[in-house]
Structure 1
Amino acid sequence: MSTSESDFHPETEADRELPATIGPYFIERKLGSGGMGTVYLGRHQETDEFAAVKLLPASMAREAGFVARFDREIAAMKQLTNPHIVELYENGEDLGSYFYTMEFVDGETLADRLEREGRIPWREVIDYSVQVCSALKAAHNAGIIHRDLKPSNLLIGKDGTIKLTDFGVAQVFASGKLTVTGGILGTAEYMSPEQAQGKRATKQSDLYSLGAVMYVMLTGRPPFTGKTALDIIQKHRFSQFDSVKRLVPEVPFWLDEVVCQCLSKKQEDRYPDAYVLSLRLKEIPKKVDLKEQQESEYSELVGTAETMADVAPGASLGDEVGGTLVRDLFRAQMDAEKPDSKLHRLLDNTWVLVGVLLLTCGLVYVLFRINTPSQEQLFQRGEDLMDRPAGLAWEAAKKDYFLPLIEADRERWEPEVTPYLDQIEIYELRKTLFGKATKQQPAPKSEAEAIILQAMELRRQGRLAEARSKLMAFYELLGSSEEDQNLSALLIQMISEITNEMPPDRLDYVRAALERADTFLQEGQVERAIAIWFSIKKLYDSDPDAVELVDQAELKYFKATGVQLLGKEDLPISDAK
């Protein structure tokens, strides 16, 4: 199987006639077809290398603006280089029809696997989703939005590698009329609410679609279904879906939370970017493994305690001893006072004493029940404290409400209380690392504290990309211990905060500078173009979001000068030429 279309259908008798060649490729066989063209397996006439060749309908070339859109989107997609993105080779025209060629992936689509198996185990879902996040991050960094992420656009190689294909096809195949009038581009089951309204797709739109793909992998069905595409689109905008855990109880609630956040109606409520989402996904198996280990240790401890209890005296013996002790105490007191009244004689009766004792215990129990809040009330009080700013209120919520609830009924309350305890742990770790600001900061107590403090200083200076890059690199070093899990959660929170502070269009002027350099080069002003390329390398070499832009600058610099820009960062412009 190779690069695919959402509406591919099996080959019929009418499809048996194959073109002998398309461009420089001999056509071996047909892989599939759909409304947006036909895909063939091709073999290059000179190199004998195989590729997936997509031939577009000839009618598309006659649509207004198609050729310009095709050339623009294909040029952008050729720049995408990532192990989880299907590589685009070349494009051209053959007998009035346009085509482009792609990497051939020997495997199946995610849609094929879902059709065969129904659902996919949650650990594999996380593995696949992290790979897709890598592809989306590379595309978004290059300024490219997929717009139509769905199972049929995800190819699974025989080694389990996921590759995303058909980047930008929705924009390529959009008619001019559809684009101008704000038409809807995408597939209904996986479409974000903003796309359903005909609004501009963003990187958060792709994250929504990925959330819908995760949902169908975990449950075997999309979050919304309906009789018509319009019905499904309306549900994306206004309806609420069933949670994953309600449909598949064995899915960890942490993963359920991630899917729910991806499927938020508002873009600002989703994850800031694909990298932050991948971090959240990667920590889930570690949390589950740690939780299972703790539960195993707890079960062993309980078993030991029960074994010890088996050799202790029986409960009936204790009851007898206790009753005798109470009776003897009362009797001793009565003898000391030498009672002779009817009341004293009455109290000398064992059964009367037992009745008085039971009545007293009953009254105490009733008063205790009246003044003791229910578990639901305790949880509500803890939630109310969590609505306040992080501080003493959060510490009180943990100590007085959340921990007692887990001790009272772990199975009932752990799923609801744990997300709050995670927030409190991050707050406590943050408090431990940073404490209160002082004129002279004490020396860091650990390497972790030193790295985080360095990142915070970069953030304070406004060097957000460097701060985020340092935290991302540190995150990759962490293991699965409980201490590292706490650090992971803190790093994810800090990375998310910094990402939200970074303007989404902050690199637009760098892209504009590259375009100006191209213009200068065409006009013969080579020195001005070289100065721009050199400056981009100098300023953004350590910025993870600008990797593709820096690579473009380096390549253009090399073509113009014959000199590798790498290692020339500290030379003046005149010496670097």
Structure 2
Amino acid sequence: MNKQEHESAPDRLGEYLIGKKIGAGGMGSVYLATNVHTDQLVAIKILPSALAREPGFVERFHREIEALKKMHNPYVIEFYDSGVENDIYYYVMEYVDGETLTKRLRREKRIDWKTVVEISIQICSALKAAHDAGIIHRDLKPSNLMLKEDGTVKLADFGVAQLFATEKLTVTGGIIGTAEYMSPEQAEGKRVSRQSDLYSLGAVMYVMLTGKPPFSGKTMLAIIQKQKYGQFDKPSRYVDDLPIWLEEIVCQLLEKDPQKRFPDAYVLSRRLQEVLNKYEMSTSEDTYALSGTSDVSVTPTVVQSASDQEAGSGTLMQGLMRAQLEADSTGSRLSRLFDNTFFLLGILLLLVLGGYYWFQERELTQEEMYNEAELILNQPENPEWYTARDKYLIPLLESDPNKWESQVRPKLKQIQVYVTRTEAGMSGKRKLRSVTQTEPQRFIMLAQHYRDAGNLVQAEIVLSALVDALHADKEQKEMRAVAEQMLKELRDNANRTAKRYVMLTQSMANADALFQKKKYQEAEAVWKALIVLYGQDPNEVAQKEINKAKQNLAKLPELIQAEESTTETQKAEPENE
């Protein structure tokens, strides 16, 4: 057995002989292995010992195991066994003799729509099993989908799902996933749901149909911005024979608002099956029509007499029509009542009046008005915030200022921030400088531009300076309040971000310590793992540490040589003395 083939993996773990490496990820590498008792081929995932000593990795590895144990589905990789030997943690799973969807797409570019539907129905079954077990996959993409020769799909890699299995682990994570297939809410670091996985499935279906993801870009940040705000081309632009029913499904899956997507994977699978059923029905009707024409053309011509024709199908239809008319004319008393025009008009009038009084909006209490406003403001910024202000909050303040001042005023201030941003052109549809903008508006927009670009430091500098500059300007009191609110939001987010990256900074410090102890391979393993986990996170804190890790890896041979030279020099000095 070639040792280089499986790097630092042992020749044997438990009752499994380790073979060649067949996959890799941030939480370990996957090897082909053989059960020594049954000769069964399996896949074994190994957590390197260097990562096992890092905080949180073993716990996450165990959670991935627990996730697989919970799921029993023909379209999910089957879990077999797990264990630890000589500080090496591993688990054994089903080996799929096939290829990833990524590999197939590279070879075929596109997949015909019927096969896409069949693959997607199987993925729905796998996702339903995961969601029923309380697990959100979070990283559904072509490379995590294995295709067997018989067309069976196997969903793999629940490692990212388990990074967020508990609140304890959530706070140490960042934006983790693959940008091209990441839902908008996941890209914003918000709480994800089963609809987030359905969005990812929509992106996978899109790339299978068209050969390209719905959004692409030169950088991960650019793709994420498009996921949040961009509009994709409809699949029919690239696929000529695509049924409209299937395109509607894909477009609904890629809705920005999770509530506008399908409620769950089961409902989606039924809709996908309907596409196949509708297509079969439409084609069978066409076939029936064609076959009927063919029968007429090949039937021998028979000349019929006039009397024969009169006694044929026309006579039969005439009799049937007469019988139906007679039956209709002798209905019951109730049926005759419903045939009465005046009776039906009376019923209609009652329904209209009843509906009017039923839907007549009653006057809300003050508490109900406040609750309605809160419901609207708990949603992301949108034009409905104007409704909350004009319909609920301002009337509340006018009706009883003593009671509502302390509760309503902060919310009006929150809405004013949104209004000012909108009026200043902060949607990105205007240029940074406009003749209609005041100077404070321009600087607020500039700060927003820096924030959206990920340059939080520069955004904070601009806002802090603006707050100080407007301190004594009574005419700009409103703009100063907006700047203060934005600055507060920025700093609050920065504090949450710092807590979120505790594991990253701690692991980087541990890797540096390992390097100083001349444990170069272990330090290298930690740096590589962190790059996989955080390499696509656009946050400044993450990027700073990841750039440092990349620089260390690039300079590793040089650093090792310098370290060894220093050691040799230190050893030589006593001899010279």
TM-score by length of 2: 0.48
Which structure exhibits the higher relative contact order, with contacts defined as CA atoms closer than 8 Å and separated by 6 or more residues?
Answer: 2
TM-score normalised to structure 1 length: 0.48
